[in-house]
Amino acid sequence: MRAHSLVFLIGLALATPTVAQTMAPEGKPDPADIRSLAANYELTNADETLKCVITLDTKPAGRGLFLGYDRTICNPRFGFLGEVAAWLPGVAGAILMIAPDGRIVSEFTEGVGGVYEAIRENDGVYFFANLQFVDPSERVQIADIFGDWVLSPPGEPETCRITLSDEVAGNELFAARVQPGCGASVLQGDLATWQLERGDIALRSQNGDVLRFERGEENIWTKVPEKPRPLTLSRP
């Protein structure tokens, strides 16, 4: 990075304590962090029904660094983007989206495989995927989850069938139904809703219990954690 740009960023960090508190201890962005994070990303909501491609650049913009995207397409999909004027690297590899006055609008923390996550209070969960490391075509699409599933202990005959519908049942939640004959030993509690969280299927009962399944090979999903009651989800 050019020397004048680094001086600009050091001055920026010192002038905006709200941002500086979430960056490195010395209160300035590390040029190496800037270079490693600058790339093309895909912003999505939790169920991946809304998407936006955003470029994080290394050149200065306002109180941070430039980020580019099609505002006519993305702003209506992600309301908080209307407040964002720039980006900066944060602590532990985080990506900060900041307002013109330096206020942090959203903080995306580093996850697995180039995917970052931000939880916005009274809004929802959002993901920010580095397209250098993530192939969007390989990510779980919510439309692929709708329909009937078999729930059973691994390696055992079909025990229970459930339906994960496309009927909206709340904020990023969809209605789920247990088909007749489902064994109580397999599904404890009344299944009420489901959602796609960070690529996992989360089944929620009426009393708030959650069963989470991660995708495996041949479209077989395994409960995590596996113990004390291993279960799998698969198509009939």
pLDDT at position 74 is: 92
What type of residue sits at position 136?
P
- C-alpha 224/C-alpha 232 separation (Å) is 10
Residue 17 pLDDT > 60 = no
Q: What's residue 8's pLDDT?
A: 38
Tell me, yes or no, whether 73 and 163 share the same domain. Answer: no
Structure tokens at 71: 């505002």
Of residues 3 and 193, the one with the higher pLDDT is 193
pLDDT digits (tens, 9 = 90+) for 126-165: 999 988 886 655 667 777 889 999 888 887 776 788 999 9
Task: Select from 138, 172, 189 the last residue of a domain.
Answer: 138
Tell whether 42 and 83 lie within a shared domain.
yes
Do 67 and 163 share a structural domain? Answer: no
Do 70 and 118 reside in the same domain of the chain? yes
Given pLDDT bands bounded at 50, 70 and 90, which one contains residue 76? very high
Please state the rounded mean pLDDT for residues 195-223: 82
Q: At which of 138, 158, 191 does a domain end?
A: 138
| pLDDT, position 114 | 82
Q: Kindly state whether residues 13 and 118 are assigned to the same domain.
A: yes
Same domain, 10 and 124: yes
47-84 as b/e, with b when 16 or more CB fall inside 10 Å? bbeebbebebeeebeebbbbbebeeeebbeebebbeeb
pLDDT of residue 25: 42
Which domain range does residue 204 map to? 142-234
Distance CA 140, CA 147 (A): 15
Conformation bin of residue 128: beta by default, left when phi > 0, alpha when psi is -120 to 50: beta
Q: Which CATH number do you get for residue 77?
A: 2.40.128.10
Q: In terms of domains, do 108 and 151 share one?
A: no
Residue 198 shares a structural domain with residue 229: yes
Position 20 pLDDT exceeds 60: no
Q: Looking at the structure, do residues 132 and 148 belong to the same domain, yes or no?
A: no
Are the beta carbons of 46 and 36 closer than 8 angstroms?
A: no
Check: CB of residue 84 under 8 Å from CB of residue 98. yes
d(CA 129, CA 131): 6
Is the whole-model pTM more than 0.75? no
The residue from 138, 161, 187 where one domain ends is: 138
pLDDT of residue 86: 96
Per-residue confidence (pLDDT) for residue 103, from 0 to 100:
94
In the chain, the number of structural domains is: 2
Task: Please classify residue 186 by burial: count the beta carbons closer than 10 Å to its beta carbon, then call 0-12 exposed, 13-18 middle and 19+ buried.
Answer: middle
Same domain? 53 vs 92: yes
**54 vs 76: CA distance, rounded Å:** 15
- Are 83 and 159 part of one and the same domain? no
Per-residue confidence (pLDDT) for residue 19, from 0 to 100: 52
* Mean pLDDT of all residues in 84-97: 94
- Shared domain for 23 and 49, answered yes or no, is yes
Q: Residue 189 — very low, low, confident or very high, per pLDDT cuts 50/70/90?
A: low
Mean pLDDT of 112-118: 85
Q: Report whether pLDDT(18) > 60.
A: no
